Structure 1
């Protein structure tokens, strides 16, 4: 049975007093500023606010679980995780199972702030993240855009100070504490015409009624203290909305069952650390949690409730430190291969590598000692092949594949990465890493923006220290392939211009170049740039040979011949590398 829960002001007072709290099964706050603005616009228009699902937790059970506070001051870089609560007192509390995003949006809009990265600023810059609070333009009460009638925006203090005859920005959080008559009296001190003053007063009073006087909250309260039942309710309630990660639910079980460490805090911290390695990655807590299952030899690696038993979670906690080190080593290894969050393309490929490093108890010396060089090359070759086949390898049947690979590594990986056994097992599962001619014809024309292009070039041209920030670069500069430039060079046929513009972005016109060299190259034609970088003819010829460049025209007019010649050379290399079994 649904119950009336009072006003928005009542709701946020209970949030402030920690009467309403967040259980660990809740995911992070994910709403964007514009979604918060839409929520406040809907409230003022009188649209239904939706109901909440609450879990009433007896004080005697609160120590069994971990709870978190609602986000108030969101910061895209420094404050994206909710703070852990250490509850004191003997009163019962209410955990929010459904409605967290709406309640947090209200809390930020009416009590807090939202800081996101300013475009064009570096993430590390202290002024990249400006604190913005929610404001309402009191002079607008009609159609704004997209069905909105009220102009809510997150603004900095400086932006909000820019008032004119069409904009009077009111700080929405002021409605919480100051008397409404005092607020409307302030409008008498502003130079407004009669109609604008009327609109401003009406809008302000409507906002006050919406927050302080109208019973907007309704909820259903579950009083059962069993976590299993609560999880089932939570899954049912969230199955129709934003896709709910099972890790968000199962992580809560780990939180409840770890005795020494805070599972949620440890996993979030590790995700942040992994994503800061090298040029940056985009690993998720789902991947880290799955890594825990894989490295601890738990079940079938899947997010199933039976895999999160008390015994298994104790095993995960006991092994957490070596798991953390193995994952960090694995990601550092990927970074040394030149991979990052953009060009990896298949995050799950990390897991067999991490398991292998974990089983062999390998440390940081694996990255530098020469005795491991051949082993790392085997790993690198296998990884690149799997990334080039990413849709067929790391798509359907992932948990079964990971379980199979884990078994082969456990059985045959005591002294080196077991390539033969792994490739055989993958072939038997219909996930062969051998490439057919049709696939090679597609690969040889991968374009500049494809996430697999770096991996393919690094396989074709392995003689680099890829930890030194190599980039995919055009041989004939992209800037030369505009209609104006091509016509100036003597290409007049429109069809040929379109074809050349497309060819300029494909693999035969691409190379790997270190970042500093890439900046020096700019718009120079390749014959000019190579002559400048390698003035000795013999050294230049040797370098061009290594780059699969046999002839280098001195004019843009020779581009098509250059392209076809290099295409055939690269295709030959691909046949040799990818159609030869990796042993």
Structure 2
């Protein structure tokens, strides 16, 4: 391996080399994953002359052309008239932005999100120095000018409507971006193994190498990344937030590997790489087993949605739950029996509420659950047992706006109640509540402003998830900051009022606190009463005792 001395290239020179098809993206590289705002920040750093890190290039002979990543559409393709291939090992994200900022156009990143480089804009109006010069937004005439227009060859023609001062600012932007010098490290070797090791060791400026990316780089004999990305693309749209790590963890469990997280993923790559190196027929065997795994994962997602109201990945208590549940359906490619479903119910609610897939014991819990699911699927008389009952105060401590498996389980439970409108008692559309991030339909039973002003409670106490229910935005907006005894009063005489409140798991008795004129006393009584209601409903859903009993 030969390490060439550092050299700096201007952005304009990099652009010419890219247009000439000199660079290529290897299969072991990830896709372009940046979004528009992050691209704007990079241009701002370049404009200010700040360091953005070096590019690392693997210089190799043309015989390694078969390592080209075929779906890399952000940068120009490699042209075979070049005698050597310059594979980009580090810096693809930055290079892509520097190129596309001049070319413009809309591309789809590796997360299947559109990035419109025509929306990378530079502010040509005067301001406080050079603050806030770049943004990702729609261009505005004579204020926010597209960077692609500024960097174009006919830039003066495109910017003909600017004033002299604005044109000078655009010219300064053009010169700073095009003359910026990017350090390049060029490593020359024809050894694929050395290049893979170099890629894995690199973790400099830019997007850090994820555990899955390391595993993909380890797979020298087959394209593990291509399998993972195709499987990800075939997931239901509501679950496209699942990571490659979820897929690889499922594979590790099905392969019987006693490993979790990054170790599991690298061992999957190493295991199959060795098998394929020994016998090329193992490629077909891997593809067959991978396809069966994906069918099992789709069944797992169907069950999570249908039986536990996990409407999308935003309500999924842990992505590891998909990996372990996939093991069950891999060994039983059909619906669970009533007895098996009863055990799955206990597992789901106990794992989510007990936060079993996070914390110090999560690795062993995942491995234990994988073995449990295999035995359960094969028809053995298995009973899921929770090693320790859950403290019910975990519900009170879980906070709105802070993602946790307890909060996700709580929202799934609320959706499962099939909540109804207060106004007319008809059932709401559960699709309105997909994703815990959809805050428009989250209602604080005791409004935060009311509690802050009247009750003198801490923000953490006010933001307990027990103070939340699912109310459509239009109904929510009518309540404002009034206390519940005020905004509920117009509905209290409706014949469906009691039924609707029960669907929302809200206590309406005198001990429930909703009608108490004392805000502090009423809210604390409400938390206690609702905690009891919610715990009872969780246990009913699980068909098992989950919580420790509090002393009277």
CA contact (8 A) 2:232 2:244 kept: yes
1:270 aligns with 2:231: yes
- Look up the SS of the partner of 1:104 in the other structure: helix
Deviation of 1:286 after TM superposition, in Å, equals 1.7
- Look up the SS of the partner of 2:229 in the other structure: helix
Aligned match of 2:140: 160
Aligned match of 1:120: none
Deviation of 1:55 after TM superposition, in Å, equals 0.8
Aligned match of 1:345: 317
Measured at CA, do residues 512 and 414 of structure 1 come closer, stay the same or move farther in structure 2, by a change above 3 Å? farther
1:578 aligns with 2:538: no
- Look up the SS of the partner of 1:309 in the other structure: helix
Measured at CA, do residues 10 and 507 of structure 1 come closer, stay the same or move farther in structure 2, by a change above 3 Å? closer
Deviation of 1:102 after TM superposition, in Å, equals 1.6
Unaligned ranges ≥5, structure 2: 277-281, 420-427, 481-485
1:497 aligns with 2:458: no
CA contact (8 A) 1:134 1:152 kept: yes
Q: How far apart, in 1, do the equivalents of 2:337 and 2:463 lie? A: 37
- Look up the SS of the partner of 1:289 in the other structure: helix
CA contact (8 A) 1:531 1:540 kept: no
Measured at CA, do residues 273 and 239 of structure 1 come closer, stay the same or move farther in structure 2, by a change above 3 Å? same
- Look up the SS of the partner of 1:532 in the other structure: coil
1:435 aligns with 2:395: no
Please report the TM-score for the alignment, with normalisation by the length of structure 1: 0.69
Q: How far apart, in 2, do the equivalents of 1:443 and 1:152 lie? A: 43
Q: How far apart, in 1, do the equivalents of 2:92 and 2:51 lie? A: 16
Aligned match of 2:213: 248
1:97 aligns with 2:63: no
CA contact (8 A) 1:444 1:507 kept: yes
1:134 aligns with 2:104: no
Between Structure 1 and Structure 2, whose CA radius of gyration is higher? 1
2:328 to 356, 361, 365: 356
Per-residue deviation, residues 80-120 of structure 1 (Å, max 9, x unmatched): xxx9x697567321110112122111012111246899xxx
Measured at CA, do residues 334 and 383 of structure 1 come closer, stay the same or move farther in structure 2, by a change above 3 Å? same
Deviation of 1:34 after TM superposition, in Å, equals 4.4
Per-residue deviation, residues 4-52 of structure 1 (Å, max 9, x unmatched): 3643223123323432111223233344444434443444444456432
Deviation of 1:186 after TM superposition, in Å, equals 7.2
CA contact (8 A) 2:102 2:149 kept: yes
Q: How far apart, in 1, do the equivalents of 2:168 and 2:60 lie? A: 43
Per-residue deviation, residues 327-350 of structure 1 (Å, max 9, x unmatched): 111112112211232332321122
- Look up the SS of the partner of 1:132 in the other structure: helix
Q: How far apart, in 2, do the equivalents of 1:295 and 1:215 lie? A: 50
Measured at CA, do residues 467 and 177 of structure 1 come closer, stay the same or move farther in structure 2, by a change above 3 Å? same
RMSD (CA atoms): 4.8
1:478 aligns with 2:454: no
Per-residue deviation, residues 115-142 of structure 1 (Å, max 9, x unmatched): 899xxxxx99xxx987734344456598
Aligned match of 1:309: 273
Measured at CA, do residues 308 and 397 of structure 1 come closer, stay the same or move farther in structure 2, by a change above 3 Å? farther
1:55 aligns with 2:58: yes
CA contact (8 A) 1:386 1:433 kept: no
Aligned match of 2:422: none
Aligned match of 1:76: none
Aligned match of 1:490: none
1:283 aligns with 2:242: yes
Q: How far apart, in 2, do the equivalents of 1:517 and 1:160 lie? A: 33
Per-residue deviation, residues 306-332 of structure 1 (Å, max 9, x unmatched): 335242773432212211111111112
- Look up the SS of the partner of 1:402 in the other structure: helix
Measured at CA, do residues 373 and 15 of structure 1 come closer, stay the same or move farther in structure 2, by a change above 3 Å? farther
Deviation of 1:230 after TM superposition, in Å, equals 1.4
Q: How far apart, in 2, do the equivalents of 1:246 and 1:24 lie? A: 16
Unaligned ranges ≥5, structure 1: 73-82, 118-122, 424-431, 487-493
1:453 aligns with 2:407: yes
CA contact (8 A) 1:110 1:134 kept: no
1:292 aligns with 2:274: no
1:169 to 145, 148, 152: 145
Q: How many residues are paired up? A: 503
CA contact (8 A) 1:385 1:433 kept: no
Deviation of 1:530 after TM superposition, in Å, equals 6.0
